[in-house]
């Protein structure tokens, strides 16, 4: 065990910053994926692949686990179209941009409530341009005091690596022990928060909603509004919080990746394999 919660924080410590995961925490990622699979299927017509069959196959393969990789390859193979070129279809997937996405019920309202009380941040894995486009489609591109796109720190620092959470807390100027991270995936979000010595709230929404609470979070909630209701009594008034150096606005590209020594993390963190639990 690389971290023992009781060593690091009191559950009753005031919460001065709340940091969120994006996909399947704030909005249903399945809606974005559905649009992306449609775009891929339409593009495959060029290679003689039936778009309806490919779209259904993409959904079926993705339901086995959307982050297992090679979804397009496996979908084509299942249709006997394994000789169709995969690379241009992967490029279509990566270029896909949803025009509009909608948060889970109550999520946007919860962000507005929290923002009136404490500083809020977002830490998300994935292609940075794609993740930014999701925020725009959700109309949340100005909702956060800080946005950390972990791939900009290096793909190897995706959650459960603690670096992006440490970066977010450092940019907000809030002690990590006074931060709470809210996310849907225990093996990524809860594990990253533990490694960063933050409290975590696991929300049971999205693709992984039925997965067990392993590792165990500080709290479990049905969704973001429920999570916020559980921590509301601990929110520290903004006037009591540490001054926030970037209070002037959200500037995701202005975030300077911290050097390894500045991250102050010397312990072990869960392996990529652990994230596949």
Cβ distance to Mg ion smaller for residue 23 or 145: 23
Cβ distance to Mg ion smaller for residue 162 or 173: 162
Cβ distance to Mg ion smaller for residue 25 or 131: 25
Kindly state the smallest distance separating residue 184's Cβ from Mg ion, in Å.
Answer: 4
Q: How far is CA 236 from the centre of its chain?
A: 24
Phi, psi of 201 (to 5 degrees): -120, 120
Of 184, 186, 172, 196, the C-alpha closest to 227 is 184
Cβ distance to Mg ion smaller for residue 166 or 192: 192
Strand order in the sheet with 199-203: 146-149, 119-124, 17-20, 179-183, 199-203, 219-221
Measured at the CA of 18, the angle between CA 12 and CA 19, to 5 degrees, comes to: 135
Cβ distance to Mg ion smaller for residue 57 or 150: 150
> Which tokens is 169 given?
């807390």
Total chain residues near Mg ion (CB under 5 A) = 5
Q: What residues are paired with 182 via a beta bridge?
A: 20, 201
Residue 125 is a binding residue for Mg ion (CB under 5 A): no
Kindly state the smallest distance separating residue 48's Cβ from Mg ion, in Å.
Answer: 36
203: number of Cβ within 10 Å = 29
Binding residues for Mg ion restricted to 14-43, rule: CB under 5 A? 21, 23-25
Cβ distance to Mg ion smaller for residue 16 or 24: 24
Binding mask 208-237 for Mg ion (x = CB under 5 A): ------------------------------
Binding residues for Mg ion restricted to 158-197, rule: CB under 5 A? 184
Kindly state the smallest distance separating residue 208's Cβ from Mg ion, in Å.
Answer: 8
Q: How far is CA 30 from the centre of its chain?
A: 14
Kindly state the smallest distance separating residue 224's Cβ from Mg ion, in Å.
Answer: 12
Binding residues for Mg ion restricted to 43-102, rule: CB under 5 A? none
Q: What residues are paired with 146 via a beta bridge?
A: 121
Handedness of CA 258, 263, 266, 270 (dihedral sign): negative
Kindly state the smallest distance separating residue 107's Cβ from Mg ion, in Å.
Answer: 13
The crossing angle, in degrees rounded to 10, of helices 87-95 and 71-78 is 130
Kindly state the smallest distance separating residue 83's Cβ from Mg ion, in Å.
Answer: 34
Residues engaged in binding Mg ion (CB under 5 A): 21, 23-25, 184
């Amino acid at each position: 065990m690389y971290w023992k919660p009781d060593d690091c924080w009191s559950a009753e410590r005031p919460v001065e910053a709340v940091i969120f995961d994006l996909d399947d925490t704030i909005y249903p990622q399945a809606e974005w994926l559905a649009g992306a699979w449609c775009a891929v299927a339409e593009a495959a017509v060029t290679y003689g692949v039936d778009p309806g069959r490919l779209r259904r196959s993409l959904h079926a393969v993705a339901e086995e686990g959307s982050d297992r990789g090679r979804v397009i390859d496996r979908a084509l193979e299942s249709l006997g179209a394994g000789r169709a070129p995969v690379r241009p279809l992967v490029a279509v997937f990566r270029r896909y941009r949803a025009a509009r996405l909608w948060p889970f019920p109550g999520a946007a309202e919860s962000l507005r409530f929290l923002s009136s009380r404490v500083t809020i941040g977002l830490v998300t894995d994935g292609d940075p341009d794609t993740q930014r486009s999701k925020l725009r489609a959700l109309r949340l591109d100005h909702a956060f005091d800080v946005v950390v796109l972990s791939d900009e720190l290096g793909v190897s620092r995706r959650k459960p690596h603690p670096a992006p959470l440490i970066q977010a807390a450092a940019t907000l100027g809030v002690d990590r022990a006074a931060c709470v991270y809210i996310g849907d995936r225990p093996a990524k979000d809860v594990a990253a928060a533990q490694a960063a010595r933050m409290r975590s709230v696991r929300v049971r929404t999205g693709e992984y909603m039925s997965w067990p609470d392993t590792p165990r979070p500080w709290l479990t909630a049905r969704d973001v509004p429920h999570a916020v209701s559980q921590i509301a009594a601990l929110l520290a008034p903004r006037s009591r919080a540490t001054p926030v150096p970037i209070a002037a606005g959200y500037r995701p590209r202005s975030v300077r990746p911290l050097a390894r020594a500045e991250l102050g993390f010397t312990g072990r963190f869960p392996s990529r394999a652990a994230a596949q639990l």
